[in-house]
Amino acid sequence: FTITDDSKDDYQYEEVPSDDEFSLQEDDEDLSKALQAIQEQAEDAQILALQSVLTSEKSVSEIPEAMDDFICNFLVRLGMSRTLDCFQTEWYELIQRGVFAAKDIGLVPTVCTRNQQLEAENMHLRKDLENFKLAASKAKEAFVKMQKERDFHRMHHKRVLQEKNRLICDFKRLKAHYASYEPVLKQLTEKYQTTLRQKMLTSLERDRAVGQVTGLQATLQNLESG
C-alpha cells in the first residue's frame, strides 16, 4: 500500500501553528525563577551563618570559666610568671595527691568573668585614650609651630609693607625735589645757550679783527718798502 501525491481523501488537513516563541518565553520565565530561587537560598544561607556565628559567640562568652584557668589568666595578664609556675606546680601536686579534685573546685561566677572582660575593655580604652592624647599633643605642637610660622611671615609681610611705604615716600620727596630744580636747570640751560652764542660772535669778531690787523700790517710794510 503506497501513498501518492495525487491521492485524495475526505480528511481536511489544517496548518498547525508554531509554539517556538511560546516555549522560549516559558524557558525565560523558568530561568528567572530558578535564578531568583538560588539567590533567595544564598541569602537564607548567609542569614543562617550570621545567626550561628552570633549564637556561638554568645554561647562562648556565657560559658563559665574554671577557677584554675581564671587564676592562670589573671597571673599571665599581670606578667607574674614565677607566681604562675608556683601556682601550677602546687595545684597539680595537690590534685595528684588527692587533696581535692578539679571538679570540686567549681567554676568562676559569671560576674567575675564579666568584670574581667570589662577590665580588659577598660585597659584597651585607656590605651586608646593614651594614643589619642599623644596624637592630640603632636597636633597641638604642630599647630603651635604653624602659629609661630604664621606670626613670623605676618611680621615679615608688615616689615616689607613698611619698607615699601618708606620707599614710596622717598620717591615722592625726590620727585618733588627734582621738580623744584627743573626751572633752575631750564634757566641755566638758556644762559648757557646765550653764552655759547656770545662766545661764537666774539670769536668771529676776533677773527675779523685779526684779519684786519694782518691786512693793515701788510699795507704798512708795502708803504715802507716803497
Residue among 90, 51, 38 at smallest CA distance from 68: 90
Q: How many domains does the chain have?
A: 1
User: 27 vs 130, which has greater pLDDT?
Assistant: 130
**pLDDT of residue 10 exceeding 70:** no
CB 121 within 8 A of CB 73: no
Residue 31 is predicted with a pLDDT of 61
User: 151 vs 27, which has greater pLDDT?
Assistant: 151
Residue 90 is predicted with a pLDDT of 86
Residue 17 is predicted with a pLDDT of 47
CA angle 48, 50, 54 (to 5 degrees): 115
> Is residue 49 included in any domain, yes or no?
no
> Is residue 40 included in any domain, yes or no?
no
Average pLDDT value for residue range 168-182: 88
> Is residue 75 included in any domain, yes or no?
yes
Domain of residue 101 covers 61-144
For residue 88, the Cα-to-chain-centroid distance in whole angstroms is: 54
**pLDDT of residue 8 exceeding 50:** no
> Is residue 167 included in any domain, yes or no?
no
CB neighbours of 66 closer than 8 A, spacing ≥ 6?
Answer: 102, 105, 107, 108
pLDDT confidence band for 29 (50 / 70 / 90): low
Residue 66, helix vs strand vs coil: strand
Residue 94 is predicted with a pLDDT of 84
**pLDDT of residue 182 exceeding 50:** yes
Residue 8, helix vs strand vs coil: coil
> Is residue 135 included in any domain, yes or no?
yes
Residue among 114, 115, 93 at smallest CA distance from 102: 93
Instruction: Kindly report, residue by residue over 184-224, the tens digit of the pLDDT.
Output: 888 888 999 999 999 999 988 888 888 888 888 888 888 87
* Cβ contacts of 17-20, under 8 Å, gap ≥ 24: none
pLDDT confidence band for 32 (50 / 70 / 90): low
Residue 58 is predicted with a pLDDT of 44
